[in-house]
Amino acid sequence: MSIRIVADDGRSRDLVGMLTDLITVCGRDGSGRQFDPAAISHWRLIPERAARAGTGAPLSVRVRELETAMADTCPAEVTMRHGEWLLRASTGITQWANSAVPLGKPLGTVDDAIAQVIEFSRAQGIIPAVRVPLPTGENLDQLLNSLGWAANVDTYVLVHDTGALMPPDADLLIRHEDEPSDNWRSVRGPDEPVSRMRRYPAVYASVWVGGQAVGAGRIAIADDWGVISQVFVGDEHRRYGVGTAVVQALAGIVRNSGVDRLAVSVSADNAEALALYGSLGFRKHHMYRRRVLTERSVKGAS
């Protein structure tokens, strides 16, 4: 909305952005500007325009929305809230579900939150780790770096408009399931963490060739986002368009549900996956850096 504020000396200023509470407007740069409601002379709602996925709202709002949707669709076995930080722990090899996710302000100071992450992680028997969104979390990233938390992995969050993706080749056999069946899992192998995936409703698509599943992927809906994950193609069927067909099939599933935004996270060093999604028109929205506690940081805190 647009709000005109008139000061006691007659000077006026216009605030344009998203009204986040009764006295704050958040601009496109993510900064919050406060005002006195009694000083409002005029205001108007700005009609919402159809926006491309990952646009329209201030960056900080969009990053929080996406990070929340991805956390919701991939629940950890144990989750504890510390203010607006999610502390997450799970068994098995899963970096994402074993990381704290800062979605906003913690309880108390950031130092308090970091100490809570360490305490929670040690109680759960996992390595303390924080998933830091960038660029909005640059200050936190720099603080953790100064404390000796090592940068473990960088990951891009990619977005796309569901309607911009073509349907898969009609000659391909594609199956949809509500559960990660043995056939679906066979593309990657039997060690796929089924219990974690089943903690949130999702659809599992697979591409079949010669009576065998050769490509597979998962999609779940949260906050009007279709979150793609677990996309795999059998080694002998790569570079034949199977990965493209899987993503197109997943997009079609949520498009039929009225969802017009897609998101997927891809490790920065996964050139093959980045090339696949780039060829389909996915755009880089933001990235996150997973920082883990090291011996140096432990010594620095002692």
pLDDT tens figures, 146-174: 999 999 889 999 999 998 999 998 888 99
Residue 99 lies in a domain: yes
What count of other Cβ atoms lies within 10 Å of the Cβ of residue 45? 8
pLDDT digits (tens, 9 = 90+) for 86-130: 999 987 656 667 899 999 999 899 999 999 999 999 999 999 999
More confident residue, 266 or 44: 266
pLDDT digits (tens, 9 = 90+) for 246-264: 999 999 999 888 899 999 9
More confident residue, 205 or 236: 205
Q: Is 169 found in the same domain as 279?
A: yes
Residue 195 lies in a domain: yes
**pLDDT at position 297 over 70:** no
Q: Is 75 found in the same domain as 177?
A: no
Residue 295's pLDDT is what? 64
Residue 50 lies in a domain: no
* 301: confidence class by pLDDT, cuts 50, 70, 90: very low
Residue 94 lies in a domain: yes
Q: Is 7 found in the same domain as 74?
A: no
Q: Is 200 found in the same domain as 84?
A: no
What's the total number of domains in the chain? 3
Q: Is 165 found in the same domain as 280?
A: yes
Q: Is 221 found in the same domain as 142?
A: no
Q: Is 273 found in the same domain as 171?
A: yes
Residue 193's pLDDT is what? 65
Q: Is 150 found in the same domain as 70?
A: yes
Contacts of 234 (CB under 8 A, 6+ apart): 187, 214, 215, 242
Q: Is 176 found in the same domain as 91?
A: no
Instruction: Print the domain residue range for 77.
Output: 59-154+289-301
DSSP per-residue codes, the chain: -EEEEE-TTS-EEEEESEEEETTEEE-TTS-EEE--GGGEEEEEPPPPPP--TT-SS-HHHHHHHHHHHHHHHS--SEEEEETTEEEEE-SSS-SGGGSBEE-S--SS-HHHHHHHHHHHHHHHTS--EEEEEETTTHHHHHHHHHTT-EEEEEEEEEEEEGGGSPPPPTTSEEEEESS--HHHHTTT-TTS-HHHHTTS--EEEEEEETTEEEEEEEEEEETTEEEEEEEEE-GGGTTTTHHHHHHHHHHHHHHTTT--EEEEEEETT-HHHHHHHHHTT-EEEEEEEEEE--HHHHHHH-
* 196: confidence class by pLDDT, cuts 50, 70, 90: confident
Q: Is 276 found in the same domain as 198?
A: yes
* 46: confidence class by pLDDT, cuts 50, 70, 90: low
Residue 51 lies in a domain: no
Residue 295 lies in a domain: yes
Q: Is 17 found in the same domain as 116?
A: no
Q: Is 278 found in the same domain as 130?
A: no
Residue 239's pLDDT is what? 80
Residue 49 lies in a domain: no
Residue 302's pLDDT is what? 40
Residue 29's pLDDT is what? 59
Assign residue 248 the CATH number of its domain. Answer: 3.40.630.30
Residue 181 lies in a domain: yes
* 19: confidence class by pLDDT, cuts 50, 70, 90: confident
